[in-house]
Structure 1
């Protein structure tokens, strides 16, 4: 089930006010005159509207160095979170980009999540990796800080004109992953959530209506998947799309380092749901079989 973009829906509603589609695909203007138009499948415009970058390949989508050159800006402490770093595509010719806020975990500074900023930005997202107000902040505080970071990104940052405020996502590790889940529960207007080895004392996430991909580590002894990542996934019963990726042999800390499996699936998830880019469905469905670094993968799979 595709997660519709609000901007796309607004455009679709406005069209009947100025035109009508006659039988055979002929577009009539408000005065009834025929206007030349190309016939296309329903939803095709929505699928193309936010595409950024070249057609992906299995190699390119797993590469942490994507097709866009990246620039960065430092964010000072304040504005509801502990500061951070924004990475963004240098190319401004393709329109605005989706935005992603990322939180580190318990007792962790932002630099431990530092590779995600340039990775996502190089694939066409404006990304802010935050420091939390204190390194001991609990998950629900991190959720508030992720939302504050998105608000800052879209309204106050130096690159606010490059970010589409209707196409936003959250991610985070450990308590930051629990914070990403809580942020998705609090804000159903988010387009995607990607909790990494999430930790939270709550496992009832039936209120989340945001497409969510959860990453777990097979041998995570800090946030064992049976009590956290897997349990959270099973309770995402209202999410329009969901996935559970378990890293073979994974600990609680392997996500600190660049990883082609993580890149492939995180980029594909963000592209599919933040950008509504169906070119990336091929990397999410059919689900991969165990092996090649994946011990388990569960999914609902996009249906177009």
Structure 2
């Protein structure tokens, strides 16, 4: 079962706003307030955004840029990772680290890499140390990969050397990876944004998985058909409601989606 085209359009547009590559003027959405109180006039680039002259392309598919990728080994990250980056967009780039669900591995959600990179955003897909790692273990490993991503801006052999804006780094996660992202939305210093897909926190030990100490704009997706322990039972709703006042947040529920419909943005 796949989310419909309307969902595909919204997920792309919302995600690009959340990562700061689009200003909120690009969408007619009262649910996504500007993160900068001194909002720029229409047509001008907000002080807190990365803006390019190119049109972003269709939100229901890949964007206007080509993309490339390279691998990071288990010596560099907990379980290995793949870095997708724009091939022909003007740097600096913002970046995201995507953490997988329980028993999940990179190929299950690899489509997100070219999607983000083609819209001008670096995305790292990661494997965990083992596919059975807990929410809390995934959160710690996500922190490590976030640090590694920032380090790619300075590593001599990195294709991204000097091309990253390390102040614009975010976290993404599916299921238990979403729970890990909720933890780091409270704990990871300098995180810019967070996005969860059918997030799971019922098995998490860290209380920050509940959302009460979230510090960054957060985008939560869930499926109306996800009614189990995996990602249902009000987990995403509960985090959304717990996020402190003043922190921008969006909750988007897809009527046709269940827990396993998040391997692709389209």
Report the TM range for the smaller structure's normalisation: 0.7 to 0.9
Displacement of 1:234 after TM fit? 0.9
Question: What residue number does 1:228 align with?
Answer: 235
Cα pair 2:175 2:231 within 8 Å, conserved: no
The answer for the alignment partner of 2:6 in structure 1 is none
Is 1:177 equivalent to 2:178 in the alignment?
A: yes
SS at 1:161's partner residue?
coil
Matched length? 222
Q: How far is the alpha carbon of 1:227 from its aligned partner?
A: 2.6
Q: Which has the higher helix share?
A: 1
Residues of 2 paired with 1:245 and 1:68: CA distance?
Answer: 27
- Correspondence for 2:26: none
Inter-CA distance 45–2: structure 2 relative to 1 (3 Å threshold): same
Give the number of the structure with larger relative contact order, counting CA–CA contacts within 8 Å between residues 6 or more apart: 2
Alignment-derived partner of residue 132 in structure 1: 128
C-alpha displacement at 1:110, in angstroms? 1.1
Which one is further off, 111-120 or 140-149?
140-149
Residue 52 of structure 2 aligns to a residue whose secondary structure is: coil
> Aligned with 2:232: secondary structure?
coil
Equivalent residue number for residue 111 of structure 1: 107
Which shows bigger deviation, 229-238 or 151-160? 151-160
Deviating 4+ runs (over 3 angstroms): 40-49
**1:253-287 CA distances to partner (integer Å, 9 max, x unpaired)?**
0112342xxxxxxxxxxxxxxxxxxxxxxxxxxxx
Say whether residues 1:79 and 2:96 are aligned partners: no
Pairing partner for 2:59 from 45, 58, 61? 61
Residue of structure 2 equivalent to 1:213: 219
Deviation readout 1:191-222 (Å, 9 max, x if unpaired):
11001100012563121010001111111124
Q: 1:52 to 1:42 in 2, by over 3 A?
A: closer
**Contact kept? 1:106, 1:174, Cα under 8 Å:** yes
Distance in 1 (CA, whole Å) between partners of 2:222 and 2:122 is 25
- TM-score, normalised to structure 2, is 0.75
Pairing 1:206-285 to 2, within 5 Å after superposition = 206-220=212-226, 221-238=228-245, 240-259=247-266
Structure 1 or 2, whichever has the larger Rg, is: 1
Deviation at 1:4, TM superposition (A): 4.4
Runs of 5+ consecutive residues of structure 1 not aligned to the other structure: 9-39, 260-304
Alpha-carbon distance, 1:152 to partner: 1.1
Q: Which moves more between the two structures, 196-205 or 44-53? A: 44-53
Report if aligned partners of 2:101, 2:177 keep a CA contact under 8 Å in 1: yes
1:72–1:44 Cα change, 3 Å:
same
**Aligned equivalent of 1:149, options 140, 145, 150:** 145
Where does residue 51 of structure 1 map in the other structure?
51
Partner of 2:22: none
Q: Distance in 2 between matches of 1:41 and 1:162?
A: 28
Deviation, 1:42, is 11
What is the Cα-based RMSD across aligned positions, in Å?
2.6
The 2-side partners of 1:49 and 1:219 are apart by 35
Q: 1:160 to 1:208 in 2, by over 3 A?
A: farther
Any conservation in 2 of the 1:188–1:209 contact (CA below 8 Å)?
Answer: no
Tell me if 1:3 matches 2:35: yes
* Cα separation, 1, equivalents of 2:42 and 2:252: 31
TM-score calculated relative to the size of structure 1: 0.67
Task: Give the Å deviation of 1:172.
Answer: 0.8
